Amino acid sequence: MQSFRTELEDPIVEKDIIDLEKKIRAFREGKIHDEKFRSLRLARGIYGQRQPGVQMVRIKLPFGKVTFKQLLKIADIADEYGSGNLHLTTRQDIQIHYVSLDRTPQLWAELEQDDITLREACGNTVRNVTSSPTSGIDPDEPFDVSPYAQATFEYFLRNPICQDMGRKFKISFSSSEADTAFSYIHDVGVIPKLNSNGERGFKVMIGGGLGAQPLLASIVEEFLPEDQLIPYIETIIRVFDRHGERNNRNKARFKYLIQKIGLPEVLSLMEIERKANKVKSYTINTNAIPEPVIPQPGSFKEVTLTNPLRYEQWLITNVFEQKQKGFYGVYIKVPVGDIHTPVARKLVDAIRPYVADEIRITQNQGLLLKYVRKEALPALYTGLAELELAAPGFDSVADVTTCPGTDTCNLGISNSMTLARVLEDVIYNEYEDFIVNREIKIKISGCMNSCGQHGLAHIGFHGSSLKAGTRVLPSVQVLLGGGTVGDGVGRAAEKVLKVPAKRATQVLRAVLDNYKDQSIEDETFHAYYDRQGKDYFYQMLKPLADLTTLTDDEFVDWGHQETFATAIGVGECAGVVIDLVATLLYESDEKLGWANESFSAGAWADAIYHSYNVFIGSAKALLLDKNINSSTQTGIIREFDTNYITTGEIDINGSFNDLVLQINKNEPSEAFAKDYLDAAADFLKTVKAKREELVQS
């Protein structure tokens, strides 16, 4: 595993990968506890699978952008290290499955040669920064948000303030008021705006999230100037890191902090943190993303369309005119988000003559091609059709979003992938008139955690189980009425009832048939659902929940032959961390080293935050010796004062609170960084001495 060490140009990335290799070796030798190692590898995009002994690797692609060369490299990696399949996610990532842990450093190194990273794709970090896939070509956008998404990704990547939070943190950029990046379900969601002077800014929503308990984001800024966006997000993350829950992962998202202390208090804490920000204004380089290479005009090969009607449907649902006149965006519907590597390579060959060298992964697990000339559309369609990638109905009722479910996920309860295919077949074969309906969205998750975004679906399903006598059968929770309203406003789907999984097709038929028969002309699905009311749908679907009519087939999940049995593993979505005293002190030593490195590099703000983490980690270690496990960093500070400072066991010439929280009362200057770093080093030395005293006593 030595070859990559001399091939990478970026020494920071090289150090990161070498560190991963060392930590894997230490883990294999039993020097790092499994739970601690899990946290470390998750922050490097390495996620445990349902299948023992192999990993899922998540590739972080800011706002879903991938070039031809990068896609081909990822395909090569999937063949060399994984199962030869690329899985497109609802957060615009690509996942590779069945990867050996020991080979992940080399895999990462090879990806970095083409500017592709795994860093912070999973774990308690800032996850992939998403955006509307149409950003840059959206006819309705005030301006292109892509450079802003890129800058946000770069600013928080490896940033000390978000390396080990209580839970993950998600940021989205929508291109227009259509809100196609779902701002309302994100920790921070923004929508571009122009003020009366034509200046750029953003409408800002905070505190959204799906999961088992969906909460919709609150609008906190109608117009935040563009240079204030990244500093604003930084203050939010600082507040979340300091005050957010850390022990109970089910309550550790930012949305629960807002729910616990209230939005006004969160905004007040943000004001306190603002002084400590690395920057007070951050100018975005709007030219940071190079323009894609656009095919030259010319004659395109003549093709004979074997199914002109299908082509016309495809034009209606999968093609739109860009804001750049004369060019068209083309969507590719990718069934369940899976592209096998031979198809990926053929896809690049098929589209290269007709599209720009910039593909975007979409939130519904498809692809967007850009800058297609009108005269090239028939040839492009034919090439896609040969690969079975020209199905009409992109983002329509016939385009079902799904997570991997029990195929690979530890938390999966039912087979969401096969169910998605089955429901799509129902639409194409029985409801062809719905193929052009792009209002209603169907989304499926294999469990309640909403990785398939069922919580924002008009018609949603999530995997579950039901008990019939002494037997257990696969089931789905049916949810209705969710979705995007627009301009930062959305709706969480309501749980209606639970039915056997094999009856999900009957649920779909019942809802669509009723919508066709009972909706008023031009009535939206939301208006139709609200007019009828939740109980109307409960009564309508209740016969499907009758377990007295079960057949043997209904005890077998979709895509399976064996009788259903719940087999849920330990989820890794939040990166569980074990609180061992020795581990915490080891980490504090490591963070002190990072603080010194940052100070030597002149990165005062980074040095300060690493030093802050030395204080927190060291204090937490000693508190654990007294069986005190506080759930927040502010709690650690308070408990340390109570149990060590006021008792006189440790003397630091004042309170721990006053010492540590200098961080948000001072500008990140060189002088303060030095004083704070020295104080952290002294404190760690004091804690180690106390720990040694306790061990010896």
> Could you state, in order of their start, the residue ranges of all structural domains in the chain?
3-112, 130-274, 308-386, 401-555, 581-696
Taken in order 382, 385, 389, 394, is the CA torsion positive or negative?
positive
Tell me if domain 3-112 and domain 308-386 are identical in fold. Answer: yes
Of 121, 411, 124, nearest to 245 (Cα)? 124
Q: What pLDDT, on the 0 to 100 scale, is given for residue 588?
A: 94
CATH code for the domain defined by 308-386: 3.30.70.3340
413: left (phi over 0), alpha (psi -120 to 50) or beta: alpha
Instruction: Locate 616 and state its tokens.
Output: 């927190």
Pair 512, 467: CB distance under 8 Å: no
CA distance 513 to 507: 10
Of 74, 188, 210, 68, nearest to 129 (Cα)? 188
Pair 595, 610: CB distance under 8 Å: yes
CA distance 143 to 657: 44
Q: What pLDDT, on the 0 to 100 scale, is given for residue 566?
A: 61
Q: What pLDDT, on the 0 to 100 scale, is given for residue 2?
A: 45
Query: What's the one-letter identity of residue 320?
Result: F
CATH code for the domain defined by 3-112: 3.30.70
Pair 454, 537: CB distance under 8 Å: no
319-321 sheet: strands from edge to edge: 65-66, 359-361, 367-373, 327-332, 319-321
Where the chain has pLDDT below 50, the residues are: 1-3, 6, 568-579
Going by their DSSP bridges, the two strands 65-66 and 359-361 should be labelled as antiparallel
Superfamily of domain 130-274: Sulfite Reductase Hemoprotein, domain 1 (3.30.413.10)
CA distance 171 to 181: 10
Q: What is the DSSP string of 621-654?
A: HHHHHTT---SSHHHHHHHHIIIIITTTSS--SS
pLDDT digits (tens, 9 = 90+) for 280-317: 999 999 999 998 999 888 878 889 898 999 999 999 99
Q: What pLDDT, on the 0 to 100 scale, is given for residue 565?
A: 67
CATH fold, domain 581-696, is: Four Helix Bundle (Hemerythrin (Met), subunit A) (1.20.120)
CA distance 653 to 621: 21
pLDDT digits (tens, 9 = 90+) for 453-463: 999 999 999 99
pLDDT digits (tens, 9 = 90+) for 480-535: 999 999 999 999 999 999 999 999 999 999 999 999 999 999 999 999 999 999 99
467: left (phi over 0), alpha (psi -120 to 50) or beta: beta
**Contacts for 442 with CB less than 8 Å, ≥ 6 apart:** 397, 399, 400, 401, 423, 457, 458, 459, 460, 461, 508
Q: What pLDDT, on the 0 to 100 scale, is given for residue 583?
A: 79
Q: What pLDDT, on the 0 to 100 scale, is given for residue 625?
A: 86
CATH code for the domain defined by 401-555: 3.30.413.10
CA distance 572 to 552: 34
Instruction: Locate 607 and state its tokens.
Output: 């040095």
Q: What pLDDT, on the 0 to 100 scale, is given for residue 586?
A: 84
Q: What pLDDT, on the 0 to 100 scale, is given for residue 450?
A: 86
Of 341, 338, 503, nearest to 405 (Cα)? 338
- Residue 217: DSSP 8-state: P
